[in-house]
Structure 1
Amino acid sequence: MEAALPVEEKPTSTVIPMAIIGVLFFIFGFVTWLNGSLIPFLQIICDLNEFQALFVTFAFYIAYTVMALPMASVLARTGYRNGMALGLAIMVVGILMFIPAALTANYLFFLSGLFVLGTGLTILQTASNPYVVMVGPKESAAMRISIMGIINKGAGVVAPIVFTALILADLGDLAHEGAGTMTEAEIQELSNRLIMPYIYMAGVLFLLIGLVKFSPLPHIDPEEDLSEGADEKTSVLQFPQVILGAVALFAYVGVEVIAGDTIGLFGKNIGVAHFGTLTSYTMVCMVIGYLIGVTCIPRFFSQQRALLGSAIAGCLCVLGIVFTSPSSSAIADVLIGWSGIPTVPNPVMFVALMGLAHALVWPAVWPLALEGLGKFTAQGSALLIMGISGGAILPLVLGKLSTSLGDMQAAYWMALPCYLFILYYAVAGYKLRSWGSK
Structure 2
Amino acid sequence: MIKKQEPFTTKAKRDNWIAVAILGMMFFTFGFVSWVNAILIPYFKIACELTNFQSYLVAFAFYISYLLMSMPSSYLLKIVGYKWGIVIGFWIMAAGALLFVPAAYGRTYPVFLIGLFTLGTGLAILQTVANLYITLVGDRERAAQRISIMGICNKGAGILAPLVFSWAVFRASDQELFLQIPLLDDMQRGMLLDELILRVVTPYTVLAILLFLIGVWVRFSPLPEIPQQKSLDASDGRTSLWQFPHLILGAIAIFLHVGTQVIAIDTVINYAGSMGLSLLEAKALPSFTLSATIIGYLLGIFLIPRFVKQKLMFRLCSLLGLTFALLVCVTDFPVYLAGMRLDSSVWFLIAIGLPNALIWAGIWPLALDGLGDLAKQGSALLIMGLSGNAIIPMLYGWMADINSEREAYWVLVPCFAYIVFYAFWGHRYRTWSK
Q: How does 1:131-210 map to 2 (within 5 A)?
A: 131-170=133-172, 171-175=174-178, 181=184, 183-210=189-216
Give distance in 2, aligned partners of 1:140 and 1:6: 14
1:251 alignment partner in structure 2: 256
1:310 alignment partner in structure 2: 317
Give structure 2 stretches of 5+ with no counterpart. none
Q: Is the 8 A contact 1:45 1:179 kept in 2?
A: no
- Residue 433 (structure 2) pairs with residue 436 (structure 1): yes
Q: Is the 8 A contact 2:255 2:387 kept in 1?
A: yes
- Residue 359 (structure 2) pairs with residue 361 (structure 1): yes
Q: Is the 8 A contact 2:234 2:374 kept in 1?
A: no
Q: What is the TM-score normalised by the length of structure 2?
A: 0.93
Q: What's the CA shift for 1:282?
A: 1.0
Q: What is the TM-score normalised by the length of structure 1?
A: 0.93
Give distance in 2, aligned partners of 1:119 and 1:178: 35
Change (3 A) 1:312 1:178: farther
Match of 1:28 among 21, 27, 30: 30
Q: Once structures 1 and 2 are overlaid, which stretch shifts more, 230-239 or 21-30?
A: 230-239
Match of 2:419 among 409, 419, 422: 422
- Residue 236 (structure 2) pairs with residue 234 (structure 1): no
Match of 1:220 among 200, 220, 226: 226
Give distance in 1, aligned partners of 2:259 and 2:419: 12
Q: What's the CA shift for 1:256?
A: 0.6
Q: Once structures 1 and 2 are overlaid, which stretch shifts more, 164-173 or 284-293?
A: 164-173
AA aligned opposite 1:207: L
AA aligned opposite 1:105: R
Give distance in 2, aligned partners of 1:180 and 1:227: 69
Sequence identity (%) = 42
Q: What's the CA shift for 1:10?
A: 1.9
Give distance in 2, aligned partners of 1:194 and 1:409: 31
Q: What's the CA shift for 1:229?
A: 5.7
Q: Is the 8 A contact 2:9 2:137 kept in 1?
A: no
1:82 alignment partner in structure 2: 84
Q: Is the 8 A contact 2:289 2:352 kept in 1?
A: yes
Give distance in 1, aligned partners of 2:9 and 2:56: 49
Change (3 A) 1:436 1:303: farther
Give distance in 1, aligned partners of 2:432 and 2:106: 52
Q: What's the CA shift for 1:176?
A: 5.9
Q: Is the 8 A contact 2:314 2:358 kept in 1?
A: yes
**Partner SS state of residue 329, structure 1:** strand
Give distance in 1, aligned partners of 2:385 and 2:9: 34
Q: Is the 8 A contact 1:81 1:219 kept in 2?
A: yes
AA aligned opposite 2:248: I
Q: What's the CA shift for 1:177?
A: 6.7
Give distance in 1, aligned partners of 2:365 and 2:201: 40
1:11 alignment partner in structure 2: 12
- Runs (4 or more) in structure 1 with deviation over 6 Å come to 4-9
Q: What's the CA shift for 1:343?
A: 5.0
**Partner SS state of residue 280, structure 1:** helix
Q: How does 1:86-125 map to 2 (within 5 A)?
A: 86-125=88-127
Give distance in 2, aligned partners of 1:31 and 1:319: 30
Q: How many residues align?
A: 423
Cα deviations by residue, 1:139-169 (Å, 9 ceiling, x for unpaired): 1111101100010000000001111111123
1:397 alignment partner in structure 2: 395
1:412 alignment partner in structure 2: 409
Q: What's the CA shift for 1:7?
A: 6.7
Give distance in 1, aligned partners of 2:180 and 2:78: 50
Give structure 1 stretches of 5+ with no counterpart. none
Give distance in 1, aligned partners of 2:213 and 2:257: 32
Give distance in 2, aligned partners of 1:329 and 1:376: 49
1:371 alignment partner in structure 2: 369
Cα deviations by residue, 1:284-305 (Å, 9 ceiling, x for unpaired): 1111111111111111112211
